[in-house]
Amino acid sequence: MTENYKKIKQIYEGKAKKLYTLKGHKDLLLQEFKDDATAFNALKKGKILNKGIINCELTTFLFTYLRKKGVRNHFVKQVSANEMIIDRLKIVPIEVVVRNIAAGSLLKKTNFKEGHQLAKPIVEFYYKDDSLGDPMISDSHALAMKIATEKDLKTLKQMAENINTILKPFFLKRGLKLVDFKLEFGKDKTGRIMLGDEITPDTCRLWDKKTNKKLDKDRFRFDLGGVNEAYAEVRKRILGK
Ligand code: UDP
């Protein structure tokens, strides 16, 4: 029997997604992906052609793949081109960034040049707070703010490293270097930490394996041109369409 999911109320609108409650499913939400793109804490705004559809399809594919590899996540089912049903999580207000190659804000914290292959992946925590501009924090900041326990932080780090170990070869087989990416996690009703949010070219840096051409949101951030084409290219390499 096909489940019927009827949207009741929008409970959140972020920069790239909206969340709705569902009739008769209090532990689920509907996540809608938008074409809207923002950068630099929403100072720069625009739209990317078919981004909502591409990001919904990619997240569906990658979360299904990660689940098969044993990574707990919130994905339940794709229900339209740009909408999916997800488990309702209590979001941990920490963005977890994993880096394999130096790029972006790491260049301001270290002397690494862009493209430097890191000797070991770096995992960083950022406090999810737009009014503060999502600052980087250490474990002790997180503990002092009581936004996570020591055990939670260990789980976040282990899950992020494991996801990196799974996704790096996955992308490389499709001609893409996974330079860095951002993950978000939440707790389900039993208190277990699960991967949430999305994994898309909005949240990952992906470079062509041979040419290092950027195929992600950096094309939008830095007006590099070919933004729509880059998203379409990633879709083609991962989903074959
Ligand atoms: N990222 C993200 N959302 C954010 C900040 C970063 O998805 O609010 C992703 C970004 O796309 C990149 C990685 O996290 O793949 C590392 O980003 P970085 O810290 O270099 O910051 P940025 O250069 O994006 O400001």
1 has a pLDDT exceeding 90: no
- Whole-angstrom CA distances from 1 to 4, 6, 137 are 9, 16, 47
- Region 166-174: mean pLDDT is 98
Nearest CA to ligand 1 atom 20: 104
pLDDT tens sequence across 192-204: 999 999 999 999 9
What separation in Å is there between the alpha carbon of 40 and the centre of ligand 1? 10
* Integer Cα distance of 73 and 66 in angstroms: 8
CA of 136, closest atom in ligand 1: 19
CB atoms within 10 A of CB 230: 23
- Region 47-60: mean pLDDT is 98
Nearest CA to ligand 1 atom 6: 182
Q: Candidates 110, 164, 203: which one to mutate for ligand 1, based on the most atoms within 8 Å of Cβ?
A: 203
Predicted structure pTM score: 0.97
2 has a pLDDT exceeding 80: no
157 has a pLDDT exceeding 80: yes
Residue 4 confidence (pLDDT): 87
* Ligand 1 binding site (Cβ under 6 Å of any ligand atom): 97, 104-106, 134, 180-182, 203-205, 217
Q: Which amino acid is at 6?
A: K
What separation in Å is there between the alpha carbon of 10 and the centre of ligand 1? 26
At 10, give phi and psi (nearest 5°): -75, 125
Q: Which domains does the chain have, with CATH numbers?
A: 7-87 (3.30.200.20), 90-227 (3.30.470.20)
